[in-house]
Chain A
């Protein structure tokens, strides 16, 4: 096996191959739970946890699984981990669990997870798979949180509402309110707001990419190097 560029794995996961913004995977939870920052963050972290565990196990067993049962085995592993995570959340983050509801079991069907298992973990060593899982997961979480934050902000003029669900009672005070008279553009919180928000985020990412592409083209016409901003 040749060398693995960890930096590349990390930048891919967080940015270049961001599962939500580039691959457009896992959109169902992405749309459904991001009506507040805390919800987004919660589901993002749960997804990351599952992703990490599944990537690690798939990578560990990658040499022993026959081709014809590869997918069923992956699905089995992922489903087990999701169930475990669901039970844990039910036990320790009860209210958040109630809010995220069906979307926790639905992590099973998040294409990101089976996608990474199939495309990365089943072909790469354990360490690299772990790094990949964390960066992909954090990239996904970042988009969920960002989308949640902007929708919460526009929709009801607050940030970190319900933080105690995730961080315990001390976090109750974290909630920020913009302006008591803010009328709240409800649309942002309702489902259409999710589509518009995601669209805007994707556009923003493309804009940034293009800006840097242009900058790089202007600066260095010589060798095509790797993108440098992480």
Chain B
């Protein structure tokens, strides 16, 4: 009797890529819900737009490459990219910018390099960087959280704002939008106000901006879920946040009047979201255990450096992209000691 053959192992675990991506999507839910609560329907519309664009372009590119698009779309990686990008965008960004950023993420940052697994840069952050660099004005115009402005953007308001650029009725853009807490802090510091004075304003909560800090908290919940499910390793988020807190702490201790507290850095901007969902993208991150610690820590340090002295208020996207470039080198120099390797046995 004849049989088909294959290489061992002849058993296969039940893990697959779709499952990995699906769990990350699931973990995004609490954070997205919080965003929706504080910033209204624009968040949801952005998500829809981005997902639609991502699927569309994956389909087109795979067709152009002469391959079956279905498994690629079904592995959820493109949809995850779209979601990560959409979450990072201001909730009233013009529709075409959202679509442009997503298309860039999928076509240029992901598929041009060969698709999932081959992209050297985090596609969502590449798309974000494109938009931020190209349209900095729109990209830095965030709504005030509803707890601050007292107004939550309804579905039709958000729709009009996104698709026709019409400002919401209640007081127009100026009343509803403002600088993000990070931007606000940076601006006020540049006027030589002291942190104590700055924190008097109504926009501040316990750690970061009111509302903002809770969004971060809910992303933290999702992120811890991923760590618990072992979808992501604890090393990158932990080292990134610890490094950020440490370096922020050092400066804060030196002069708390002009350097915000570590808690402010952790709970403002995209630090938590980035630590658990962006920096941990396995394709573009470091993979060796020691490498992950270094990779995460350097992202944390870069976030602080760019936030404090850089040209843009938040820094997670640039930090991650920069470290993406360094990941292969880090991996090379942090190869774990091979079992039985005597030269390195002392370590």
Contacts and interface: CB of A to CB of B under 8 A. Distances in A.
Co-complex (A, B): yes
A186 B135 contact: yes
Interface string B110-132: 00000000000000000000100
A186 B97 CA distance: 13
A196 B135 contact: no
Contacts of B136: 186
Interface string A159-201: 0000000000000000000000001111110101000100000
B108 A196 contact: yes
Most A CB contacts (10 A, CB to CB) among B133, B134, B135 go to: B134
Interface in A120-135: none
B323 to A, nearest CB: 17
Interface string B124-155: 00000010011110000000000000000000
Contacts of A196: 108
Contacts of B133: 186-187, 190, 192
Contacts of A192: 133
A195 to B, nearest CB: 11
Interface string B223-240: 000000000000000000
Interface in B226-271: none
A186 B108 contact: no
A184 B130 CA distance: 12
A52 B65 CA distance: 43
Contacts of B108: 196
A5 to B, nearest CB: 37
Contacts of B134: 184-188
Interface residues of B, number: 6
Contacts of A188: 134
A229 B135 CA distance: 41
B324 to A, nearest CB: 14
B302 to A, nearest CB: 18
A211 to B, nearest CB: 16
A184 B138 CA distance: 12
A99 B172 CA distance: 41
A187 B97 CA distance: 13
Contacts of A184: 134
Contacts of B130: 187
A183 B135 CA distance: 8
Interface string B180-201: 0000000000000000000000
Interface string A70-110: 00000000000000000000000000000000000000000
Nearest to A183: B135
B144 to A, nearest CB: 24
A18 to B, nearest CB: 22
A153 to B, nearest CB: 14
Interface string B192-212: 000000000000000000000
Contacts of A183: 135
Interface in A199-215: none
A9 B18 CA distance: 55
A188 B130 CA distance: 9
A196 B112 CA distance: 11
Nearest to A184: B134
A190 B130 CA distance: 10
Given A186-B136, A192-B133, A196-B108, 11 more contacts: A183-B135, A184-B134, A185-B134, A186-B133, A186-B134, A186-B135, A187-B130, A187-B133, A187-B134, A188-B134, A190-B133
14 contacts: A183-B135, A184-B134, A185-B134, A186-B133, A186-B134, A186-B135, A186-B136, A187-B130, A187-B133, A187-B134, A188-B134, A190-B133, A192-B133, A196-B108
The 6 closest A-B pairs by CB, nearest first: A186-B134, A187-B134, A185-B134, A187-B133, A187-B130, A186-B133
